[in-house]
Amino acid sequence: MSFESEAVLEWTVTLESANRTWKKSYQTGINQDGPMKFSQEDVTKNMNLMLSTLLERTLQDEEFQKALSR
């Protein structure tokens, strides 16, 4: 027996000031397959990896950096 898994995580970042609002969504995903022994630890590891990826993409995004400096 085996499994196939696809997980997608998206978050939306919103910056608000008195003069304007900036908003952008970021998305990442993981595909995985293997023998039927997918554990809670695997799910936690994948969620942590996706959250780390989203954070890195957000912080390195030029649009986000420009919006922060306004």
**CB–CB of 32/5 below 8 Å?**
yes
Alpha-carbon 33 to chain mean position = 20
- pLDDT score recorded for residue 30: 93
Is the backbone of residue 40 left (phi > 0), alpha (psi -120 to 50) or beta?
alpha
**Beta bridge pairs of residue 13:** 24
**Beta bridge pairs of residue 35:** 2
Q: Name the residue with tokens 């996706």.
A: 50
Domain boundaries of the chain, sorted by first residue: 3-69
Query: Mind listing the pLDDT tens digit of every residue in the chain (70 residues)?
Result: 788 888 999 999 999 988 899 999 999 999 988 887 778 898 899 999 999 999 999 999 999 999 998 8
Q: Strand locations in 1-70, DSSP E?
A: 2-16, 21-35
- pLDDT score recorded for residue 70: 82
pTM above 0.85, yes or no: no
